[in-house]
C-alpha cells in the first residue's frame, strides 16, 4: 500500500449540502477501490490562480489515504466526470 494525497477543488457557487455530497462521493470512491482514508483537510474557500469555467473561487479539500496503485486509475476515471469538481490532483507521497 502506498500513501497518496488527493487534492480536490469543488465549485464555490453550489450550496453547502451539495458541496458536502460531492466530498462524500469522492471519499466513497476512495474506499470503494480499496483505499483507507487517514484524514481530510478542509482549506475552505480560496481564490483560484486563474479563471476556470468562468469561476474565480473554489473550496479546497485534501484527502490523505493509503491504497494500491491500481485504485488511482479508477479514481481518476470517476472523479474526472463528477459534477461540482473543478480540478483534482492525486499524488503519491514519498516515504521520508
Tens-digit pLDDT profile for residues 14-66: 999 999 999 999 999 999 999 999 999 999 999 999 999 899 999 999 999 99
Give me the domain span that covers residue 55. 2-92
> Nine-digit cell at 74?
479508477
Number of domains in the chain: 1
| pTM of this structure | 0.89
Report pLDDT for 69. 84
Structure confidence at residue 1 as a pLDDT band (50, 70, 90): confident
CATH (domain of 88): 3.30.70.60
Amino acid at each position: 500500500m502506498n500513501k497518496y494525497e488527493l487534492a480536490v477543488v469543488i465549485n464555490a457557487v453550489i450550496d453547502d449540502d451539495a458541496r458536502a455530497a460531492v466530498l462524500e462521493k469522492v471519499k466513497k470512491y476512495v474506499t470503494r477501490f480499496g483505499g483507507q482514508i487517514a484524514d481530510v483537510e478542509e482549506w475552505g474557500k480560496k481564490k483560484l490562480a486563474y479563471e476556470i469555467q468562468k469561476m474565480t473561487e473554489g473550496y479546497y479539500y485534501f484527502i490523505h489515504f493509503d491504497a494500491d496503485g491500481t485504485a488511482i486509475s479508477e479514481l481518476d476515471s470517476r472523479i474526472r466526470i463528477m459534477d461540482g469538481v473543478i480540478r483534482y490532483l492525486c499524488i503519491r507521497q514519498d516515504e521520508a
